[in-house]
Structure 1
């Protein structure tokens, strides 16, 4: 299991979706999840960087698991997710800031792939590692494959890690297209 998590940790760093020490990855297996440890370098994950914790109740290993273990737990309990990737992709974070300044609660992709596959991306609030964030994410991801935590990053879910990675990549791609298109519109004084 840790090898698959390691593979996608490297991909996240290579794609610029996280800096090495930020973000986290988990996979659900039955009543447990395998999740990266707090502070682990995602591009250098070893067997010791992944811990197994219960989906249904906190355990003593929560202390060394990712600070977002509560969010992963709630998402697994309330959605069909079997894999979760949390990244800190820069354009998604920027768009969450811009959209909230404009009073919007969702990012609606303007590119055809993002529009077709993502529809819209909820922007949720809550502090890192808090119950509020965990509950907000679980609600947002009941019907969506991704949500952006305001000023923090993306949570993407899938039935396997590859699907969660594709979703996380699509969110960043759509946010990047939106950001650059808005710059072009501003430069050309278009509405």
Structure 2
């Protein structure tokens, strides 16, 4: 692992964090982004506006959460990020407080199958039960909701997705927010209920994706 690789990964973390603000997925310093480089996890710091982050603000921890580099405290959601890295193949994690996804998380225990892109996240998107932010309890809830999935909702909180890189993790976040918006829009029409896909229809999509390339 070279210094250049770490610096490039940090640039990508900062760029992705700023994108969450630009695209309206977070407000202020809410949400957080991380990337794994070898045995290090580069993560956004706590309480610092993303537009103020510089190369000197790099924060890196090991998989036990010990700070290896940087002077700033890592995000309060570090337990959730680390548990995902320890238990999955994740190389990048994006957590947001996206409006439509957060609204859906307060209504259902699983996002209804409103669109076939749920297959790109591994199947029906679950809602992790509520727990105080930044706790090991929340991290455990999230890990269970992610079983066989690459994204989930957090009850009354937001979203978390992971991927092989930050682009993939971010694309999955954006896709999840879009699906939540579609379901909320369709279900808000008086007197009508949206049609939903069956599990068999979603399985058919998942099979087609396997021959299509990497869904993002």
TM-score computed with the length of structure 2 as normaliser? 0.78
Once the two structures are superposed, the pairs formed by residues 91-106 of structure 1 within 5 Å of their partners are 91-99=100-108, 105-106=109-110
Gaps of 5+ in 1: 100-104
Contact 1:62 1:69 in 2 (8 A): no
- Distance in 1 between residues matched to 2:53 and 2:170, nearest whole Å: 16
Q: CA deviation at 1:140?
A: 2.3
- Distance in 2 between residues matched to 1:144 and 1:116, nearest whole Å: 9
Count of aligned pairs: 182
Q: Are 1:33 and 2:41 matched, yes or no? A: yes
Q: Are 1:117 and 2:120 matched, yes or no? A: yes
Give the 3 Å change call, closer, same or farther, for CA 67–57 of structure 1 in structure 2: closer
The structure with more strand, counted as a fraction of residues:
1
Partner-residue secondary structure (3-state), 1:81: coil
Q: Are 1:18 and 2:34 matched, yes or no? A: no
- Distance in 1 between residues matched to 2:160 and 2:149, nearest whole Å: 10
- Distance in 1 between residues matched to 2:169 and 2:102, nearest whole Å: 18
Gaps of 5+ in 2: 1-8, 194-216
Q: CA deviation at 1:30?
A: 1.6
Once the two structures are superposed, the pairs formed by residues 20-169 of structure 1 within 5 Å of their partners are 20-59=28-67, 64-99=73-108, 105-113=109-117, 115-118=118-121, 119-125=123-129, 126-169=131-174
Contact 2:25 2:96 in 1 (8 A): yes
Q: What is the root-mean-square deviation of aligned Cα atoms in Å?
A: 1.9
TM-score computed with the length of structure 1 as normaliser? 0.88
Per-residue CA deviation, residues 130-149 of structure 1 (Å, 9 max, x unaligned), is: 01111121232241111111
Larger gyration radius, structure 1 or structure 2: 2
Contact 2:105 2:156 in 1 (8 A): yes
Higher relative contact order (CA 8 A, sep 6+): 1
Per-residue CA deviation, residues 79-136 of structure 1 (Å, 9 max, x unaligned), is: 000100000001001001111xxxxx211330233x3323211111221010111112
